[in-house]
Amino acid sequence: MVSKELLGAVLKTNVVEVYRHKKHGWKYKTHIQRAGGWVSNSDVPLPDIHKLAWETKKWAFDLGYFVETKALSSKLRSRESGSEIIDECFNTNWNNGKPYDPICDIKVCEWIVENDDTFSSET
């Protein structure tokens, strides 16, 4: 669904793991450094998928990218050039009547995590 690196960058927290709980759906685990040197583990539900997609798009915009969302696909573009398509994800649910897939917005932003050198210096 979403990598721990992207989720951590978007939510500005230390994400250790993203996993699917049998009863409670998608969650992520954080380690929080507490006073006295001990670490607290926390299991947190993922935000609503539409909210997460929106937050991911805002995060990408702040890094100089633009996510173009359409019914059939999401495209990652450079804000500088605008016309260059860096990555694209196609909505495979279009035939099932789902006109927009927020997962596509998240998937194209994974390109930033995997390929943008400035990302690794910010995390």
Residue 120 pLDDT level (bands cut at 50, 70, 90): low
pLDDT value at position 66?
92
pLDDT value at position 35?
59
Is pLDDT of 67 > 90? yes
Residue 123 pLDDT level (bands cut at 50, 70, 90): very low
Is pLDDT of 14 > 70? yes
CA distance 62 to 71: 24
φ, ψ of residue 103 in degrees (nearest 5) = -60, -35
Q: Are 27 and 43 in contact (CB under 8 A)?
A: yes
Which residue would you say has higher pLDDT here, 71 or 109? Answer: 109
Residue 112 pLDDT level (bands cut at 50, 70, 90): very high
CA distance 56 to 51: 9
Average pLDDT over residues 95-119: 82
Greatest C-alpha distance within the chain: 55
